[in-house]
Amino acid sequence: MKIEQAPPKLDRRTFIKNVLTGSITGSLLLIYPMGGGDALDMLQPATIPDIPVQIPGIRGETYEIHERKFAFIVDITQCIGCGSCCVADKREYKVPDGYYRTWVERYIKDFNDQVYVDCPNGGLDGYQTPRTDIEVQVRDTFFVPKLCNMCKETPCTQVCPVGATFTSPDGFVLMDSDRCVGCGYCIQACPYSSRFLNPITHTAEKCTWCYHRVRKGLLPACVEVCPTGARKFGSLRDETSEVYKILKGPGVLTVLKESMGTWPALYYLGARLEVI
Amino acid sequence: MSGFHEGAAMLLSNFVLPNDLHVHWSMMIVLYPYITGLVDGAFIIAALYYLFDIESLKPVARFSLLFALAFLCCATIPLLLHLGRPERNFNMLLTPNPSSAMAGFGYIYAVSMGVLGFIVIFVYRADLVKLKHRSRGMIKLIYRVLTFDCDDLSPRAMALDDRIIKILVGLGIPVAAVLHGYVGFIFGGVKANPTWSTPLMPVIFLFSACVSGISAIVLAYIVIRKLTGSSMDGPCIITCIKTLTGFFILAFSFEMLEVFSHSYLKSGYHHMVEGLLNGPLAASFWLWQVKICSGIPLVILGLMAFIRLPQPRYNLLAAGVSAILLLQVFIMRWNVVIGGQLMSKSARGYTVFHPPWIDKEGILTVIVVMIIPFVILFILGKIFPFWIEDPRLD
């Protein structure tokens, strides 16, 4: 039996319609591969590491992303400038030499109230010897770890022209390196110089407070290795956490460059006037 | 040491935050506002003739449009060279972040290009029709495309053309102002950098753009006419120089006002700004930008305004002062873009920057990028006659 097939419609109107539909669909496909699937995967980590829980209430529970609230506190009085945090961070992210997601500064004050600050190699080697380039009578010295301030009013997120840097509903300021064009505007906008342009990927990079670890119930790498507990991280929804007790307690906490109006979520305990 | 406050704020250790050692916006970001500035200034000259009927500018009006077009074609080259991932540049147009000042660039640039392109086509339409009839082959096809194959040169059609040109140029002025003022805002909107973060920044950029563009037109007109052995139109050069004088006085006043504001208001980190201008930028700011490239032109422009000079001497001074002002604006861009980044956000120290010769953002690349608009201008000149008395139009 002969099967009758309708002849294809080849009039001009159909042709233009097909070309337009094809172009629009093609363009949308070009625009749309944003890796939405990966983000969904992150909601329920497929592999839970065989490491004991460090942040309670995350592993094995539904991660209500809009309900979570975390805080990071740096206790300057506890930091000994060993540089372990910097080493852990460099290993966690393979940070290229000369660039820093986190670093530790050394402050020296003399008897004339002069302040001398240095940070050789970002503090990665630890401060094992005194400064030899200045000859002053040291009255006081202390170390200041620095990292992303996870601002509420984020200048970096505001200026990113393509939306590659964004704030997640649980407050983390993150980078999508697959979307970043490497313009460097976020680097200029960050008042804390927490960002850099990775010379290998040519995209902007920053500290994430180890979001990938937090989502698995693990502490940020720098917090985990800190031998003195100078770096503290935890959930503010957990009233037994150390950060909750400090933040809700009577102690004096400060943030960096408050006048910038960025509302950091990184708090400093015992930060001196000289710390900028 | 005496008093209460020694050492508490003025910090001596020249401490630069570890990520601030790198100057991320380098030569290409100096060049980009320079190029858009040239476009703006050249367009102003054309606008003065086509919209505000300043007849004495007629000899350079068409050339100014082509000059602006040639440079506008190249405005994105420095940006693409600067981007870490230039292949993703369309993300800015496809998925722009509405809160970002930078995200508007693609749209503003596209509108400027469209408006300028149409202005050129309408301004040249009568000539293009004439040239189409006299040419053959490929070039005839180009003229057919540029005239949309329309030969109508009737008085009614020409009157309509004039009206369209006026509307387009009227539209072009805010577009050109936005294109360049916006570049200034990209810097002015960075609150983390005290040298950039001032509402004066777009204004300074806009006026200095007019200075550089008008200077470029004056210099190019004089050099091209001299090289081709053609006569120069005295009143045209005089009007250009008078306009240039006005814009330069405004630009220089605002540049100085910004420094004065910092020093008088003594707002946060002013000690860093003062230290920058008197330290790492002492030579490029005070000596080159202010004393040499602004002081000397002010004297020369004053002489040209108040003393009646023979035209050849006037033209020579016009070319000289334009060349110095082109350098002034380039140095100003350098001092803003590079200078601003020399200051660490530690508020305790300054980094250093030496541009490499061979690099995708190096000095050689700057030279090549600056040659490309002139090549485009040369090619445009083959299609669109620069001057009204071009023999091809006889």
Q: What is the largest CA-CA distance in chain B?
A: 86
The answer on pLDDT for A40 being more than 70 is: no
Provide the chain A residues 14-53 that lie in CB contact (below 8 A) with chain B: 30-31
- Give this complex's ipTM: 0.92
Instruction: Decide if A276 and B348 are in contact by the 8 Å CB cutoff.
Output: yes
Given this model, what pLDDT does residue A37 score? 46
Band (pLDDT 50/70/90 cuts) for residue A60 is: confident
Given this model, what pLDDT does residue B10 score? 47
What average pLDDT does range A152-179 have in this prediction? 96
Instruction: Decide if A181 and B99 are in contact by the 8 Å CB cutoff.
Output: no
Rg (CA), chain B: 23
Given this model, what pLDDT does residue A30 score? 64
Closest CA to B127 of B143, B139, B113, B140: B143
Candidates B13, B185, B190: best to mutate against A (most CBs of A within 10 A) is B13
Token reading at B84 = 């870490």
Using an 8 Å Cβ cutoff, are B294 and B245 in contact?
no
Digit-coded pLDDT (tens) for A201-242? 999 999 999 999 999 999 999 999 999 999 999 999 999 999
Instruction: Decide if B345 and A114 are in contact by the 8 Å CB cutoff.
Output: no
Provide the chain A residues 123-162 that lie in CB contact (below 8 A) with chain B: 134, 146, 155, 157-162
Residue A202 forms contact with B (CB below 8 Å): yes
Number of C-alpha atoms within 13 angstroms, CB side, residue B114? 8
Digit-coded pLDDT (tens) for B196-242? 999 999 999 999 999 999 999 999 999 999 999 999 999 999 999 99
Across the A:B interface, residue pairs with CB atoms under 8 Å apart total 154
What average pLDDT does range A9-33 have in this prediction? 77
The answer on pLDDT for A38 being more than 90 is: no
- What's at A169, amino acid-wise? P
Coil/strand/helix, residue A95: coil
Token reading at B101 = 């000042």
Given this model, what pLDDT does residue A32 score? 58
- Collect all residues of chain B within an 8 Å Cβ-Cβ radius of residue A159: 99-102, 189-190
Sequence-distant (6+) residues with CB within 8 A of A228 are A78, A79, A80
What average pLDDT does range B16-36 have in this prediction? 96
Q: Which of A12-26, A98-112, A137-151, B96-110 has the lowest mean pLDDT?
A: A12-26
Using an 8 Å Cβ cutoff, are A44 and A207 in contact?
no
Torsions phi, psi for A269 (to 5 deg) = -105, 125
Coil/strand/helix, residue A90: helix
Digit-coded pLDDT (tens) for A92-122? 999 999 999 999 999 999 998 889 999 999 9
Q: Where are the alpha helices (DSSP H) in A32-169?
A: 36-43, 84-93, 155-159
Mean pLDDT of chain B: 93
Using an 8 Å Cβ cutoff, are B119 and B165 in contact?
yes
Q: What is the largest CA-CA distance in chain A?
A: 106
- The model carries a pTM of 0.90
What average pLDDT does range A18-28 have in this prediction? 83
The answer on pLDDT for A142 being more than 70 is: yes
Terminal-to-terminal C-alpha distance of chain B: 81
- Angle CA(A73)–CA(A76)–CA(A80) in degrees, nearest 5? 120
Instruction: Decide if A259 and B12 are in contact by the 8 Å CB cutoff.
Output: no
Given this model, what pLDDT does residue B8 score? 43
Choose among A184, A191, A274: nearest Cβ to B345. Answer: A191
Token reading at A244 = 């909750």
What average pLDDT does range B292-319 have in this prediction? 97
- Collect all residues of chain A within an 8 Å Cβ-Cβ radius of residue B13: 115-118, 134
Digit-coded pLDDT (tens) for B163-179? 999 999 999 999 988 88
Residue B14 forms contact with A (CB below 8 Å): no
Given this model, what pLDDT does residue A42 score? 52
Mean pLDDT of chain A: 90
Q: Where are the alpha helices (DSSP H) in chain A?
A: 12-31, 36-43, 84-93, 155-159, 185-189, 211-214, 221-225, 242-248
Q: Which of A57-61, B197-201, B248-252 has the lowest mean pLDDT?
A: A57-61
Digit-coded pLDDT (tens) for B137-146? 999 999 999 9
Band (pLDDT 50/70/90 cuts) for residue B351 is: very high
Instruction: Decide if B88 and A195 are in contact by the 8 Å CB cutoff.
Output: no
Residue in A with minimal Cα distance to B96:
A162
Given this model, what pLDDT does residue A179 score? 95
Instruction: Decide if A161 and B347 are in contact by the 8 Å CB cutoff.
Output: no
- Collect all residues of chain A within an 8 Å Cβ-Cβ radius of residue B17: 103, 119, 146, 193
Residue B322 Cα distances to B75, B214, B222, angstroms: 21, 8, 10
Given this model, what pLDDT does residue A266 score? 97
Token reading at B173 = 């002025």
Band (pLDDT 50/70/90 cuts) for residue A48 is: low
Candidates A162, A178, A180: best to mutate against B (most CBs of B within 10 A) is A162
Closest CA to B255 of B201, B213, B325: B201
Given this model, what pLDDT does residue B388 score? 87
Handedness of CA A153, A73, A268, A225 (dihedral sign): negative
Report the C-alpha gap between B263 and B247 in whole angstroms.
25
Given this model, what pLDDT does residue B18 score? 96
The answer on pLDDT for A35 being more than 70 is: no
The answer on pLDDT for B318 being more than 90 is: yes
Residue B265 forms contact with A (CB below 8 Å): no
Residue A104 forms contact with B (CB below 8 Å): no
